[in-house]
Amino acid sequence: MEAVIWSLIVLLGGLGLMLPTIDCLKESSRISPYLTVLATAIALGLLTTLVGKSGYLFNGVLRIGPLATYIALIATLGAFLVSLASLAQAKEWSTSPSLYSLMMLALLGVYFVLYVADASVLVPAWALVSVASYVLVGIKKDDNSLEAAAKYALMGVASSSLLIFGLALVLGVTKTSAFVQFTVVPHSIKAILLMGVMMLIASFGFKLGVVPFHGWLPDVYGGAHPLIVSFIAGVIKLISIGAFLRVLQPLIPSIQNEWFWIMTFLSVITMFYGNLAALVQKNVQRMMAYSSIGQAGYFLIAFAALSFSNTKIIALEGIGLHVTTYVLAKVGIFVGLAYFARKGFDLTLEGLSGVGRKLPFSGTSISILLLSLMGMPPLMGFWSKFMYIFYSIMEVAPWLAFLGIINSGISVGYYAMVIRYLLFSDPPKVDVKEETPDLEIYVLVITALLTIIPGLGLINVLASLLS
């Protein structure tokens, strides 16, 4: 297992650092885009060798586990698909060598957060991913991207500060830098532990898009180039899931009741805010930004279910499966929006009227991904959201599951509106069509198929990989 991790470090870290130099030496024909596609494909293969394995590595600072490996595989798949789509979108950008370098370094940082078992690894890994993501958002260097990057960086500084303060309090109480389970904490210092946990929730909630730490997300997801957003939403965001599972989950038994009510409160306000705000958006890219906030609320329901031993297993399975739903949908939808923009369409509801009839593969694939986010059976989103996340909390807090179902109903309003404009409006009178060299089409079709196939009898196979 250590050999696999070393291979990933050399592959993604070493190649990521070398790419700008390689492209400068061969400026006439850039090869970094193709090397990135190849490297992420190899990383997928390497990670498959860790499936089902568990154990501590490097003197206990990393811990391999089935759920972490599964999420790492999904993150790598997202990075592979984004890099594949970028061959048609970003290969000729003046900043493309830096783009591909940062994508690989950020992906490596995501691995370390997913496998982290000690604070000495968490802090540098978090810094690596955070700084890379700030630069990625502004890498197109247009006004919207630069504004989004500035807001993201400023909010990120606050998030990182909370991470350090929270760790200081938690590690001071637990007296170890290792993230191990604590069941009993003296009452005299429990308040200090709880304060540290709340700071960490705020820090990790920033990356996840949890209300009230969401302020950056609509401007970044709605203002940056859609291709970059597909990577931020589909890969970078997974460090927050990893941090919740690896850093905070071991502390839940010592603050069980407080944890449940904090997660419940944040889940309810996040779901309602994200879904209601998305309903009034006319710009589809910005609408999908608010949709991401709503999706964060569903993850928090599963985190709330981790408070109870009888619901913990299905909650963890729900988190892993919904990561699959979320990454496939967000990568596919934002790549699709980037494709529409490249074809000359405005990314508003009116601007996309009938585009799905003009570009049928793209329009149909995006519609499938939107239906999955709604929770339409038998698609992936139905199983991960209704049959795992909502079911996990049904026994202990059925009213919370009911609020989740209500929010799923609210989300139908704006997801269905996008589908109606895409597929059921008159097609635009412009001479555009899907062509074989358009790599975005392949990415969209892959994400749509991977959303359909597991729901046709393979969902239990996926769930078995998580435990």
Q: What's the CA gap between 248 and 207, in Å, rounded?
A: 15
Q: What is the pLDDT of residue 237?
A: 92
- Domain region containing 398: 2-464
* Nearest in space to 217 (alpha carbons), one of 296, 117, 304: 296
Residue where the block lists tokens 């509106």: 417
Q: What is the pLDDT of residue 52?
A: 86
* Nearest in space to 450 (alpha carbons), one of 107, 52, 74, 103: 74
Q: 119-125, long-range: CB within 8 Å, 24+ apart, which pairs?
A: 119/167, 119/171, 119/177, 119/178, 119/179, 120/61, 120/177, 121/61, 121/62, 122/167, 122/179, 122/243, 122/246, 122/247, 123/163, 123/164, 123/167, 125/239
pTM of the model: 0.94
Widest distance between CA atoms in the chain: 71
Q: What is the pLDDT of residue 433?
A: 84
Helix segments in 138-251, DSSP class H: 143-174, 187-208, 217-223, 226-231, 238-243
| pLDDT tens sequence across 182-193 | 767 777 788 899
Q: What's the CA gap between 388 and 12, in Å, rounded?
A: 33
User: Could you tell me the two tokens for 337?
Assistant: 């929006």
User: Could you tell me the two tokens for 440?
Assistant: 């975005």
Number of Cα atoms under 13 Å in the Cβ half of residue 402 = 5
Q: What's the CA gap between 398 and 395, in Å, rounded?
A: 6
* Nearest in space to 213 (alpha carbons), one of 286, 144, 262: 262
For 308, list phi and psi in degrees, rounded to 5: -120, 135
Q: What's the CA gap between 105 and 439, in Å, rounded?
A: 24
Q: What is the pLDDT of residue 185?
A: 76
For 237, list phi and psi in degrees, rounded to 5: -60, -20
Q: Which positions ≥6 away from 170 have C-beta within 8 Å?
A: 193, 196, 197, 200, 251
Q: Which residues of the chain have pLDDT under 50?
A: none
Torsion of CA 307, 310, 316, 317, to 10 degrees: -160
| DSSP secondary structure letter of residue 236 | I
Q: What is the pLDDT of residue 188?
A: 78
Number of domains the chain contains: 1
